A and B are shown apart, each in its own frame.
Chain A
Amino acid sequence: MWRYALRRLFWGVPTFLFITLVTFFIVHLGPGDPAFVSAGASTGSTELAAEARARLRSQWGLDGPLVERYVRWVGRCVRLDFGRSFHDGQSVRAKLGERFARTALLALAALVVALLIAIPVGAQAAAHAGGWFDRGVGLLCFGLFAIPRYVMGMLLIVVVGVQLRWLPFMGMGSPDAGEMPGIERWVDVARHSLLIGACLCYPLAAYLSRFVRDNVAAVLSEDYIRTARAKGASRMRVLYVHALPNALLPLLTVIGLALPGLLSGAVILEVMFSWPGMGRLMFDAVMQRDYPVILGASALAAVVVLLGTLAVDLLYAAADPRVRYT
């Protein structure tokens, strides 16, 4: 198993290098000069501005040949040093850590809620396949799945946030959150995360419940289910003890494929709800030509995707003894 994991990690290296290399070139060949964004607008005189820009460029290491800069960047990247943000001079590593935690919190909560909905709903639909519950859920999922997340976000903001005024929808906490006592502050964060969390959750819940349904329905026609029924096991026992565990194995793959997307942050949703996570960070960095942040964020996203798929394959093999490492 360890040999397999190591080999997979080894194959991840070229993919990682390819992604960061392409990002590096795109970022540096792209339009807009970060020194111009930073120094150009504030200084009135053009000569002064040109001088300030040249100083900034050499300070930020933007004046060497591109390939040399890339190699230097990878060298620092291995030591987890992503440099400092052009925008506010903060350490990129600290920034990424903070933002990643906020996105991950939201994503994992959405995933757990989606699973809590999807597994029982999917199992029940499969147990009565073709019945009214199955069809109703199917139609609902079909409809929900056709609503893009940001469209749902706009609707929730306008209806729940603006017209009904039930929940806050901007940012991660109220302006006076700093003065609140511990529990109240958590409740405040939870209230702020409800709407954006719902937007992340519903497509997952819709997709996963159909997925669980199809898998459970397939498993229910297996011989060992008939055996269990013949032995007199109750419907519930057959469904949840005999059928469900086997039907859930493929779910690991799906979660593994969905997780990287969730963890790298939904850009539009985070901008829409002013949620200070990875997606928002990337968007701001792209708009400000904040090279170190863009590169750091894309490196982190690439690592998350690669580790996510690896973790799923390993988990899959751990859960199902029939799977062998090759």
Chain B
Amino acid sequence: MTQAATPSMGRGCRAALAFLPALVIGLLALGAPLLAWDQPVACRHEGRWFFPALTAAGQNLPLVGRVVRRPIPFRYPDFDARATLDPAAFALWPPVAFHPDEITAQALSGPSRTHWLGTDDRGRDVASRLIHGATVSVRVGVLATLLAGLIGVAVGAVAGYFGGWVDGLLSRLIEATICFPVLFLILAILAWLSPGVTAVILVIGLTQWTSVARLVRAEFLRMASADYVLAARAYGASAARIIVRHMLPGALAPVVVTLTFGVAEAVVIEAGLSWLGLGVPAPTASWGGMLRSAYEQMRSAPHLVYPPCIAIFVTVIACHLAGAWLRKRLDSAAR
């Protein structure tokens, strides 16, 4: 449903413009500690150089994160860099000098020079939580969409290639999954996993694959009688080889478009689940969780509502822009 609603953009819509917002949000998510952390990006401490926020950002990276370690004094949770560091020594602080989980003395304060977007009900800096919320949203959005894409391509390809009763069975599966409410699946998944990012990724991945599956199935049904497929079959290529090497490349382009829109959908579902208290659990900064605490404090601190709302909106727009541009490119390439 998301896809068709995007109107044709103006002719001046360039690739850079279409992908810039998504790129900015992605970088924000990767480099969150460089922008908001309670330790400096770079500083001199007891005669040595330290890069605590930089290494914290490194820990967020996929794969590399496990190897990166923060320098010793900065690793302790009770190490207070603001009080301990020599004020005369060099220190490059992030623009928002607060940890997302750090509880300050003033709760529910409005925007000010120390707290740009104010503080929430527990006195945590909203700007810092907003920036770190991007990490959760982008991680869930991208990984859940990849999972959905993998399942969708696999189911759609098998259904479209083999047809017959296999197609009938898998089509019923697709139909049933569409009817199946997201809310129940989270129950099932929480039976095996504790609530957290992994559970949310699984829930979204396992429910949102149907549009890709239907797309790939339709493409495969269309391609099944193409000459090159018949030729491959004639010289004895295996089904797996024909699917992966001969047919999949032709069906991949529209899948990429769908997945770009899917990232927006996944981000929205993640925030919604976190709002309901079923997503990313409480102390972790997430946009849905921030929206929830804003909901609970709406009479005393209505200003808390706007930051997460705008963040979610901008992320969705960023994905839609990129998706609309990709689709337009593919459409004109097809013609």
Alpha-carbon separation in the docked complex, A257 to B179 (Å): 11
CB of A158 within 8 A of CB of B298, answer yes
B155 to nearest A CB, angstroms? Answer: 15
CB of B184 within 8 A of CB of A302, answer no
A155-B305, A158-B298 given; A148·B312 CB < 8 A:
yes
CB of B190 within 8 A of CB of A145, answer no
**Residue in A30, A264, A267 whose CB lies within 8 Å of B191:** A30
B236 to nearest A CB, angstroms? Answer: 35
In the complex, residue of chain A having the shortest beta-carbon distance to the beta carbon of B305 = A158
Q: For residue A211, which residues in chain B have a CB less than 8 angstroms away from its CB?
A: 4-5
Alpha-carbon separation in the docked complex, A265 to B5 (Å): 22
Q: For residue B181, which residues in chain A have a CB less than 8 angstroms away from its CB?
A: 264, 267, 282, 298, 301
Instruction: Say yes or no for A272: interface residue by CB 8 A criterion.
Output: yes
CB of A15 within 8 A of CB of B176, answer yes
Instruction: Say yes or no for A180: interface residue by CB 8 A criterion.
Output: no
CB of B7 within 8 A of CB of A26, answer no
CB of A146 within 8 A of CB of B317, answer yes
- Which of the segments A97-105, A136-144, A182-190, A192-200 contacts the partner chain? A136-144
CB of A268 within 8 A of CB of B275, answer yes
Alpha-carbon separation in the docked complex, A210 to B272 (Å): 26
Which residues of chain B from 256 to 302 have a CB within 8 Å of any chain A CB? Answer: 264, 268, 271-272, 275-276, 291, 294-295, 298-299, 302
Instruction: Say yes or no for A22: interface residue by CB 8 A criterion.
Output: yes
Which residues of chain B from 175 to 207 have a CB within 8 Å of any chain A CB? Answer: 175-176, 178-181, 183-185, 187-188, 190-191
CB of A207 within 8 A of CB of B295, answer no
A30-B190, A301-B181 given; A142·B5 CB < 8 A:
yes
Instruction: Say yes or no for A216: interface residue by CB 8 A criterion.
Output: no
- Identify the interface centre among B176, B185, B190: most chain A CB within 10 Å of its CB: B176
B91 to nearest A CB, angstroms? Answer: 38
A10 to nearest B CB, angstroms? Answer: 12
**Residue in A30, A150, A271 whose CB lies within 8 Å of B187:** A30
Instruction: Say yes or no for B2: interface residue by CB 8 A criterion.
Output: yes
CB of B295 within 8 A of CB of A162, answer no
Alpha-carbon separation in the docked complex, A301 to B330 (Å): 37
B172 to nearest A CB, angstroms? Answer: 5
CB of B184 within 8 A of CB of A154, answer no
**Residue in A27, A148, A260 whose CB lies within 8 Å of B268:** A148
Q: For residue B191, which residues in chain A have a CB less than 8 angstroms away from its CB?
A: 26, 29-31
0 or 1 for each of B136-171: is its CB under 8 Å from A? (1 = yes): 000000000000000000000000000000000000
**Residue in A15, A142, A294 whose CB lies within 8 Å of B184:** A294
Closest 9 CB pairs of A and B: A138-B7, A26-B188, A146-B316, A145-B5, A305-B179, A30-B187, A148-B268, A207-B5, A146-B317
Binding site for B on A (CB under 8 A): 11, 14-15, 18-19, 22-23, 26-27, 29-31, 135, 138-139, 141-143, 145-148, 150-151, 154-155, 157-158, 162-163, 206-207, 210-211, 214, 257-258, 260, 264, 267-268, 271-272, 282-283, 286, 294, 298, 301-302, 305-306
List 14 contacting pairs A-B, 8 Å CB cutoff, sorted by A: A14-B172, A15-B172, A18-B172, A23-B180, A23-B184, A27-B184, A30-B191, A31-B190, A141-B5, A145-B6, A148-B313, A158-B298, A206-B5, A210-B5
